[in-house]
Structure 1
């Protein structure tokens, strides 16, 4: 049941679009971890850079999207910059559409 909830939250997070790159935060590799603790969901995520002007927007969007999932009573989003985000974390199809070189 916990794994199903994690997957439902992950899918819900796909509605949160990074305004600079125009893709969802899951496919961009900005979501590092989703944990379920009882009826609470804890999300660890990042932004593309520590000074990203969209950091609050992304955090609030992730919290709202996760909170809307059935079975989630509360959602906590922690922003981190360790490890640093790199384009290597982007899903391959999205990476190609954004013009990033393939990762070897």
Structure 2
């Protein structure tokens, strides 16, 4: 498993507290870039005014601090493209009742 796969696996421990689904399966993680021991995460939230952004970012950094080969985490929250339910994995859609 390469470092990008380990990063995504660690991010699956971060859950949206309102929906109970991890941020990877929700489709909130837009990008993972690895540069040496620095990981840059581009992510979004389900709504523009979502108050849990700081919590999600703190949890991302917490879980990524335990990934071998990662010494620095840069997280960037973006609003474009806006999140839509179509971005969710099939598992997340099923768990939330989307068909």
Give the TM-score taking structure 2 as reference length.
0.95
Taking only aligned residues, the RMSD between alpha carbons, in angstroms, comes to: 1.1
Please list every run of at least 4 consecutive aligned residues from structure 1 whose deviation after the TM superposition is greater than 6 angstroms: none
Aligned to 1:64: 62
Aligned to 2:21: 23
CA apart distance, 1:97: 1.6
Choose which of 29, 32, 43 in structure 2 pairs with 1:34: 32
**Gap runs ≥5 in structure 2:** none
**Equivalent position SS for 2:67:** coil
d(CA) in 2 for partners of 1:18, 1:44:
16
d(CA) in 1 for partners of 2:47, 2:63:
22
Larger RCO: 1 or 2 (CA < 8 Å, sep 6+): 2
**Gap runs ≥5 in structure 1:** none
Q: How many residues align?
A: 99
**Equivalent position SS for 1:20:** coil
Give the TM-score taking structure 1 as reference length.
0.90
Matched, 1:77 2:75: yes
